[in-house]
Amino acid sequence: MKADKTKVNRLLKTARGQLDGILKMVEEDRYCIDISNQLMATQAILHSANKEIIHAHLQHCVLDALQEGNADEKMEEIMAIIDKISK
């Protein structure tokens, strides 16, 4: 993986902390909208982590494959990820 590991780890640990907080909110029967807001905030952090990884993949793995003349597999991977993201 060529992404900034420090940044990705920080984002994932933050998301994990938020998930722990959400679990506690559920156990405490907190207000539904508050829980939903926290879930959306966690999703946004996970989205940021995924974006960081995909950007690095494009900048390194895909670019290297293009320069070596064998980008077909990498292009298929990227198209599959775009399909999943756009659902």
pLDDT in tens, 16-43: 999 999 999 999 999 999 999 999 999 9
**67: domain CATH number?**
1.20.58.1000
Question: Confidence class of residue 70 from pLDDT cuts 50, 70 and 90?
Answer: confident
Residue 13 has pLDDT above 90, yes or no: yes
For the ranges 9-13, 22-26, 61-65, the lowest mean pLDDT is seen at 61-65
Number of domains in the chain: 1
Q: Among residues 48, 45, 44, 40, which one has the least CA distance to residue 3?
A: 48
Which residue range(s) make up the domain with 71? 5-85
DSSP type of residue 3: S
Q: For residue 75, which of 83, 35, 22 has the smallest C-alpha distance?
A: 83
Using CA atoms, how far apart are residues 46 and 39, in angstroms rounded to an integer? 11
46 pLDDT more than 90: yes
